[in-house]
Amino acid sequence: MEKLPKIGIPVIIILIILIVVIAKSAVTIGSGEAGVLYKTFSGGVVTDEPPLGEGFHLVAPWNKVYIYEVRQQELFEQMKVLSSNGLEIQIDASAWFLPVYNDLGNLHQTLGEGYLQRVIQPAIRSAARSVVGRYTPEQLYSSKRDVIQEEIFAETKKILNKQFVQLNEVLVRDVTLPTTIKDAIERKLKQEQESLEYEFRLVTAAKEAEKVIIEAQGKADANRILSASLTDKILQDKGIDATLELSKSPNSKVVVVGSGDSGLPLILGNN
* 145 plus 99 within the same structural domain: yes
Q: Calculate the alpha carbon distances from 260 to 10, 234, 263, 264 in Å.
A: 150, 16, 5, 5
pLDDT in tens, 99-121: 999 999 999 999 999 999 999 99
pTM: 0.61
CB distance 25 to 61 below 8 Å: yes
Residues 39 and 112 occupy one common structural domain: no
DSSP state letter for 52: B
Range of the domain at 251: 235-268
For 225-238, what is each residue's pLDDT tens digit?
Answer: 766 665 666 656 66
Mean pLDDT, rounded, for 116-136:
92
Is residue 182 included in any domain, yes or no?
Answer: no
Report the run of H or E that residue 15 belongs to, with start and end.
helix 3-25
The CATH number covering residue 117 comes to 3.30.479.30
